[in-house]
Amino acid sequence: MKLGGGVVNGSPRGTALPTLLLGHSRARLRCYSSSSSIPIPDHITFIKDVAVTQPPQHLCHLLRMLKTKGESILSPAAKQGLIPLAIPLAKNSSGAVTALLRWPTAPPGMEMPVVEVRKHGVWLLAKNVDQFIHRLLVEEDANNSPESNDELFHSSADAGEKFYKKGDYAKSQISNLDVYLLRKVGLFPDVIERKVTRHFEEGDHVSALVTGEFYTKKEHFPGFARPFVFNAKVLLRVGRNVEAKDAARGALKSPWWTLGCKYQEVAEIAQWEDEQIEYFKEKVTEEGKQEDLKKGKAPAQVALDEAAFLLDLSSVEGTWDDSVERIAECYEVAGLPDIARFVLYKD
């Protein structure tokens, strides 16, 4: 079942939503930097009381780092036009929004990933806040001269010191930044994809295929379709068209808003036209839902499936706001009133 709307590792979790913020248009409390009096929107309170989940321990450090990098800190409720499962953090000069992803039915203990919000869904930046902080510090150290200032390191404060010490990259004697990230920090989709591209550039198709397959291991990026999409493209590139078709069809079993590209690109490799879209549209009709109920599917599961289908359909054109109220209704019916209110909550 999809992480994006169905049951994951057991039954859905429902938690009563505190009323602290429900009467306000935005989270008004502030999270202050220990080294600065500049206030930033209080994402911690929003995550606790609206998203109803555990805030990442070092989220305030990440927000300060993003601000230091020149990004504009956003209200966590500034979700207009975005996938409703996102908690906005910051926007850069090109307009890209960095956010946390609140899986609707995440298993207990699963951390919120850091994502870049795009029109058709999200791109995974890091599995969690700590990993993203670590990566930002390594990249800052690797890409700057010794004479550069240490503003980003200062803004990361004690959290940064926990993950990385300035100069560690040079001391490692690893000449390639991507190699260092994979060995010392963690797995990242863009880094793995560049690794495959380099293998192709070097004429090493075997290593490209092996790395593409490695990318799809379910423990690496659970819930995300992107690895399967990229592996399909790798297979297509070496002429293994039948396997590419199967890989693309497998990708479309995960949330479409995690494909990392337009739905149509993947459907073309899968050799599907609009039949999957039409099937999903049929599943969210009253007749489609009644058919599932007659087959013995629990009403809560039918509602979760409907929410997942609606999110997928919204991702095709990026029309998130058109379906958000109906998606919230599905979570309400499924016994997840906290998620329903989170989905609806915006500035």
Model pLDDT for residues 184-241, shown as the tens digit of each residue: 999 999 999 999 999 999 999 999 999 999 999 989 999 999 999 999 999 999 999 9
In this predicted structure, what is the pLDDT of residue 143?
Answer: 86
Contact present, 191 and 182 (Cβ < 8 Å): yes
Single pTM value for the model: 0.87
Instruction: Give, as one character, the DSSP assignment of residue 258.
Output: G
Helix (H) or strand (E) holding 283: helix 275-283
- What tokens does 338 get? 């906290």
In this predicted structure, what is the pLDDT of residue 12?
Answer: 32
Contact present, 173 and 183 (Cβ < 8 Å): no
Considering only CA atoms, give the Rg of the chain: 21
Domain boundaries defined on the chain: 39-185, 187-272, 282-346
Residue 230 amino acid letter: F
In this predicted structure, what is the pLDDT of residue 31?
Answer: 59
| Domain 187-272 of CATH type 1.25.40.10 | yes
Instruction: Provide the residue-wise pLDDT of the chain in tens; the chain has 347 residues.
Output: 455 544 333 333 232 222 233 333 333 335 544 444 444 558 999 999 999 999 999 999 999 999 999 999 999 999 999 999 999 999 999 999 999 999 998 877 789 999 999 999 999 999 999 999 999 999 999 987 665 668 899 888 888 889 999 999 999 999 899 999 999 999 999 999 999 999 999 999 999 999 999 999 989 999 999 999 999 999 999 999 999 999 999 999 999 999 999 999 999 999 998 989 999 999 999 999 999 999 999 999 999 999 999 999 999 999 999 999 999 999 999 999 999 999 999 88
Cα–Cα distance between 347 and 342 in angstroms, integer? 12
Three-point CA angle 234, 237, 239, nearest 5°:
115
